[in-house]
Amino acid sequence: MKSVCLFSSYFQGNIIPYYVKYYMEELSKYFSDVVLLTNEKPIETSELEYLSKKNIEIRLYKNEGMDFGMWYKALQEYEKEDYERIGLVNDSCILFKSLQPFFDWVDNSSLDYAGMVATGKVSYHLQSYFLIVNKNAIPLMREFFKENGIKKTYKGIILNYEIGLSKYLLSKGMKMGGYFDYKNRTDVNPSFILAEELIKKGSPIIKKKIISHNYYTGDYLTWFRNDFNIDYRYYIDVIKKNNQGVDLIDFEKVIKELNPDYSIAYIRKYKAGLAVYKLLRKSSLLRFLFHRFIMVRRQLRTEEK
């Protein structure tokens, strides 16, 4: 089966990170072509030689429209190719083990549009960091991208592409499903809040932000509401305990690259904020004011994007 994975990755510098290479090498086992999409910048010759050796193409694009902007541009370049499967994947997650069980599930299903996680938050859709578009849905997906073009705002991307693409394909009669199905959970983003549960269910990936601690102010409100464990070491321990005897990514290398902000002071500050939130939650007025403050900050961040 002729297939291509368009792997979108944003990284600083001219060296491809280890966790990105690990991800692409695993994807190469399930796609006839893998293409690295990243922002315009010089790439070290040694890195280009690595990509050539691994038969991974690279495309450099202006950084606009986030991952969907990258995919939009790449789909135009590969428009004439007769692919039976297209993967739209980004590096917002760390892949830490084999993808074989996931692809076995995809191959044994009759789905036209499949993803790692399906969620009911806002509207039933597949989360966009790992999408598989099979033969019947490919022309419709291409049509959808052409009609929508590049969206510049974060909100526009989520509503028009992540949620909109699922709605569009469902409206055209395409069969859709997630390897981990949380369509009945309308209250949380499962990839974050249910990260531990996903690991225990066999997920091969974890959101990179959980490891890197690259959080926005607005994120903390969500973490507080759900009593989220912010210690990345906890999740690495859960991964190792639930995957004994399984070949895993070298987390020491990952931590060295991501360099997460971790200190006793940081954890204490978070726990203090969580304690304050729990106190404010007892007062409806104080809770409202606190939520309003965070939402304003989140809105400003969204408009900036």
| pLDDT of 117 | 98
Q: Is residue 149 part of a domain?
A: yes
| Number of Cβ within a 10 Å radius of residue 175 | 15
| pLDDT of 53 | 97
| pLDDT of 289 | 64
In which domain, by residue range, is 220 found? 214-305
Last-in-domain residue among 147, 169, 187: 187
pTM of the model: 0.89
Contact in structure between 192 and 229 (CB atoms under 8 Å):
no
**Does 71 share its domain with 163?**
yes
Q: Which two tokens stand for residue 105?
A: 């599930």
**Three-class DSSP labels, the chain:** CCEEEEEECCCCCCCCCHHHHHHHHHHCCCCCEEEEEEECCCCCHHHHHHHHHCCEEEEEECCCCHHHHHHHHHHHHCCCCCCCEEEEEECCEEECCCCHHHHHHHHHCCCCEEEEEEECCCCCEECCCEEEEEHHHHHHHHHHHHHHCCCCCHHHHHHHHHHHHHHHHHHCCCCEEEEEEECCCCCCCHHHHCHHHHHHHCCCEEEHHHHHCCCCHHHHHHHHHCCCCCCHHHHHHHHHHCCCCCCCCCHHHHHHHHCCCCCHHHHHHHHHHHHHHHHHCCCHHHHHHHHHHHHHHHHHHHHHC
Cβ-in-10-Å burial (0-12, 13-18, 19+) of 127 comes to buried
Q: Is residue 78 part of a domain?
A: yes
Least confident segment among 34-48, 91-105, 154-168, 191-205: 154-168
Q: How far apart are CA 124 and CA 115, in angstroms?
A: 12
Q: Is residue 196 part of a domain?
A: no
Q: Is residue 197 part of a domain?
A: no
Mean pLDDT of the 261-265 span: 77
The CATH number covering residue 61 comes to: 3.90.550.10
Q: Is the pLDDT of residue 305 over 60?
A: no
The percentage of residues in the chain with a pLDDT greater than 70, rounded to a whole number, is 92
Could you identify the residue written with the tokens 């006793």? 264
Q: How confident is the model at residue 44 (pLDDT cuts 50, 70, 90)?
A: very high
Q: Is the pLDDT of residue 23 over 50?
A: yes
Q: How confident is the model at residue 175 (pLDDT cuts 50, 70, 90)?
A: very high
Q: How far apart are CA 106 and CA 11, in angstroms?
A: 29
Q: How far apart are CA 17 and CA 117, in angstroms?
A: 25
Q: How confident is the model at residue 213 (pLDDT cuts 50, 70, 90)?
A: confident
Name the nearest CA neighbour of 63 among 50, 72, 53, 75: 72
- Phi, psi for residue 181 in degrees, rounded to 5: -100, 110
Q: How confident is the model at residue 284 (pLDDT cuts 50, 70, 90)?
A: low
**Does 253 share its domain with 172?**
no
**Does 235 share its domain with 288?**
yes
Contact in structure between 20 and 54 (CB atoms under 8 Å):
no
| pLDDT of 140 | 96
**Does 158 share its domain with 268?**
no
**pLDDT (tens digit, 9 = 90+) per residue, 68-105?**
999 999 999 988 778 999 999 999 999 999 999 999 99
Q: Is residue 47 part of a domain?
A: yes
Mean pLDDT of the 27-51 span: 96
For residues 268 and 2, which has the higher predicted lDDT (pLDDT)? Answer: 2
| Number of Cβ within a 10 Å radius of residue 137 | 25
For residues 234 and 156, which has the higher predicted lDDT (pLDDT)? Answer: 234
Q: How confident is the model at residue 224 (pLDDT cuts 50, 70, 90)?
A: confident
Q: Is the pLDDT of residue 115 over 80?
A: yes
Least confident segment among 110-119, 179-188, 254-263: 254-263
| pLDDT of 303 | 44
| pLDDT of 302 | 46
- For the chain, the domain total comes to 2
Q: Is residue 206 part of a domain?
A: no
Return the exposure string of 265-294: e unless at least 16 CB atoms fall within 10 Å of the residue's CB, then b.
eeeeebeeebeebeebeeeeeeeeebbeeb
